[in-house]
């Protein structure tokens, strides 16, 4: 069965905001077991971007425009690119849209420096198939830090990406656009190019504005680069990673899924609805992650809004919330 198809994963029971669940057995570290090894280029990249973002602490590189761009970028790149594009559209096919819009969402996601889209989607589909089990790429049952970021700094030994892509992302490897982004690190150069645009735009504006100087333009350009691109990249990183870590260890449960997923208020607010993670694991193909009326899901609001103007269609609805209240309902669809 291909990874993009749906299949039952047991029964999911609706529960009343439970915080307790049977404690699953801890998992051994794949690195300590010798099943995975550190990829030092990944480690250097993550540490390096954090170090560059720390230049935001220098007063000379501060600008309110940069701060505004960092906050707005969390929505434009993080919500539209990662939450809606990589996650709900490409991974779970929760809705359909024109190809040009799908590719736009994808490029916004690539600007978050979270890897090639095909690999991101393959890992996430793998996570749903083996959630909180040994083959889960990022279960916090190994450790909180492993789920948050360590897992992506390692590589499983003897993994064949051709086999992995064919199994978990067969729909994407048939599309030349996604293959082009995957080849020779093209996705990384897209990220570099978009950061350069922040600097160039600030340099030009700061130099040519009334009373502007070359030094002033340089300062403004660097402030936009540091805040609008680097700080925003790091912030979106940790918001995304918190879904993998915090939303599997803290929060309440609407459904008795076979994993330790939780609905986490803090992550839901920061990640524009992605923190309603137990709901998502109960019905991963549903476009909406909020299942109760008060579980606000801004990402779904965008999807629904786009449907009103005809840009989104065939939205997969939540099926088990109202019709099966307090009863066993068909299990989560895993991809």
Residue 143 pLDDT exceeds 60: yes
- Residues 62-79: tens digit of each pLDDT: 999 999 999 999 999 999
| DSSP class of 8 | -
Angle at 240 between CA 236 and CA 246, to 5 degrees: 130
What was the pLDDT predicted at 63?
96
- Residues 119-138: tens digit of each pLDDT: 999 999 999 999 999 999 99
What was the pLDDT predicted at 158?
86
Q: What percent of the chain has pLDDT over 90?
A: 82
C-alpha distances out from residue 264 to 245, 289, 308, Å: 11, 12, 29
Q: For residue 90, how many C-alpha atoms fall within 13 Å in the half-sphere facing its CB?
A: 35
| DSSP class of 58 | S
Q: For residue 61, how many C-alpha atoms fall within 13 Å in the half-sphere facing its CB?
A: 18
Other Cβ atoms within 10 Å of 169 Cβ, number:
29
Specify the pTM.
Answer: 0.89
- Cβ atoms of 56 and 220 within 8 Å: the answer is no
CA distance linking residue 280 with residue 292, whole number of Å: 12
User: For the sheet containing 328-330, what is the strand order?
Assistant: 253-256, 11-18, 328-330
> In the block, which residue shows the tokens 């609706």?
14
- Residues 241-278: tens digit of each pLDDT: 999 999 999 999 999 999 999 999 999 999 999 999 99
State the pairing for strand pair 11-18/36-38. unpaired
- Cβ atoms of 87 and 102 within 8 Å: the answer is no
Residue 7 pLDDT exceeds 50: no
pLDDT band at 24 (very low <50, low <70, confident <90, very high): low
- Residues 174-217: tens digit of each pLDDT: 999 999 999 989 999 999 999 999 999 999 999 999 988 999 99
Domain limits of the chain?
11-17+33-330
From the list 318, 315, 314, 312, the residue with the least C-alpha distance to 333 is: 318
- Any alpha helices (H) in 9-116, and if so which ranges? 40-53, 64-73, 99-110
């Amino acid at each position: 069965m291909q990874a993009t198809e749906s299949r039952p994963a047991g029964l999911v029971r609706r529960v009343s905001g439970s915080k307790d669940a049977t404690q699953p057995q801890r998992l051994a570290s794949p690195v300590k077991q010798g099943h995975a090894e550190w990829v030092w280029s990944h480690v250097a990249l993550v540490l390096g971007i954090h170090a560059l973002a720390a230049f935001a602490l220098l007063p000379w590189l501060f600008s309110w425009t940069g701060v505004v761009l960092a906050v707005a970028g969390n929505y434009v790149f993080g919500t539209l690119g990662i939450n809606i594009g990589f996650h709900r559209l490409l991974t779970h096919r929760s809705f359909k849209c024109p190809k040009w819009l799908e590719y736009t969402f994808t490029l916004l996601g690539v600007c978050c420096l979270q890897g090639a889209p095909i690999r991101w989607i393959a890992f996430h589909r793998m996570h749903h198939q083996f959630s909180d089990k040994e083959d889960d790429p990022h279960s916090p049952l190994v450790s909180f830090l492993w789920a948050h970021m360590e897992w992506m700094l390692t590589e499983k030994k003897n993994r064949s990406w051709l086999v992995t892509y064919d199994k978990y992302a067969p729909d994407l490897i048939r599309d030349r656009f996604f293959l082009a982004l995957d080849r020779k690190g093209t996705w990384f150069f897209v990220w570099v190019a978009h950061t350069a645009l922040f600097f160039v735009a600030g340099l030009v504006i700061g130099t040519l504005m009334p009373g502007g100087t070359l030094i002033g333009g340089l300062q403004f350009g660097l402030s936009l680069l540091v805040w609008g691109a680097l700080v925003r990249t790091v912030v979106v990183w940790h918001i995304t990673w918190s879904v993998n870590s915090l939303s599997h260890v803290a929060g309440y449960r609407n459904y008795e899924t076979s994993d330790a997923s939780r609905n986490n208020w803090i992550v839901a607010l920061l990640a524009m609805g992605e923190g309603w993670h137990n709901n998502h694991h109960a019905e991963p193909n549903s476009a909406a992650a909020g299942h109760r009326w008060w579980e606000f899901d801004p990402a779904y609001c965008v999807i629904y809004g786009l449907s009103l103007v005809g840009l989104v269609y065939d939205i997969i609805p939540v099926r088990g919330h109202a019709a099966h209240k307090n009863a066993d309902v068909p299990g989560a669809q895993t991809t």
